[in-house]
Amino acid sequence: MRLHEYQAKSIFSNHGIRVPRGKLAKNLEEVRKIVEELGEEVVLKAQVLTGGRGKAGGIKKAKSAEEAIEHSKNMFGKNIKGLTINKIYIEELIEVERELYLGFTYDGLNKSIVMLISTFGGMDIEDIAAQHPEKIIRKTIDPLIGFWDFLIREALYELEIPKKFFKPIASIAKKLYRVFIDYEAELCEINPLAITKDGDICALDARLNIDDDALYRNPDFIKLKDYSQMEPLERTAEEKGLKYVKLSGDIGLIAAGAGMGMATADYIHNFGGNPANFFDIGGATPEIVKKSFELLLQDSRLKVIFVNVLGGLTRCDWIAKGLIEAFNDLKVRLPVVIRLSGTNEYEGREILIRHIQENDLKGVFIVESMEEGAKKAVEISKGG
């Protein structure tokens, strides 16, 4: 779960990290009041849960209330990457001498927390890694020891940051690490972390992504979720307790397990196709299978659906029963490719084959392997 910038900044501020003075506006009248309160020079920042706001016109500077109003008129209701701007965060303009990137995340390969710091503040960390990998300093944090000052001092020394800034930046790094741990985050970053012209250190932007699997321990965060920023199908899926992520293709994908879903998407790409979604139904009951089809059939882009199950906890006979319920109740018109392997696979296939034969279903294809299924789905999506 990703928080808005203004929400993350509130948390950072409560942990002693300096952020610019700012307030949230939901209409033009609030914009005027906030600008008059903060002073003439401000920054207006669209609150949408995506990157690239600046390039899309979602971040503007204003030197007067009138200019701020004019920018706000152009922002409210505008879409950035499909997300509608309905809130603008307005904060005082900070004069910047230098910008850094500072963040904490998990390194899945090494199974550890890692601190990232770079002199290329203001850029997406992915872009920095692609264009200037040598400018990112990584410091692995031993969970048994925790975060110590020497880690940030080493990094700042390597980046040739003046020593007078070591102590204040180290202080912010420790506080940011505390936020990362206390809120069970997947990503916690300040980008950019500004060295101001008066020599202070200030978080000009803030990002905090909370681990969804930890939300039950932090129920207050659920109240902060902005459903207006979710893609409609993803919102529907969450309301139904389904694990769905919309992608850009035309092949509907249902898989038993996250790893299986990612592997299936890779196979589809290898054969020249594009998945329309990631959909994990691991441990599914017949009811969940039917709900999954209800959701996918709302996507007008789909040309075919590929169901790929390697059953462990997931029983293939239950998957088959759910598929039959979907075929009977939802009047599925799309071609469906099905691969069932694992627990009760023979029973599942027998149930499906009997139903296909009895109802003369021409658009349902049962395959033996993930490779065969992905290839068939791609062929159908391309008109084959």
- Which residues are tagged catalytic? 101, 189
Task: Tell me the one-letter amino acid at 120.
Answer: F
CB distance 290 to 238 below 8 Å: no
- CA 282, CA 262: separation in Å to the nearest integer? 13
User: Taking Cα atoms as reference points, which of 12, 13, 38, 14 lies closest to residue 24?
Assistant: 38
Q: What angle do CA 242, 245, 249 make, to 5 degrees?
A: 130
Burial of 119 (0-12, 13-18, 19+ CB in 10 A): middle
CA 226 from centroid of its chain's CA atoms: 13
105 vs 102: CA distance, rounded Å? 10
CA distances from 363 to 134, 334, 336, 375 (A): 52, 7, 6, 16
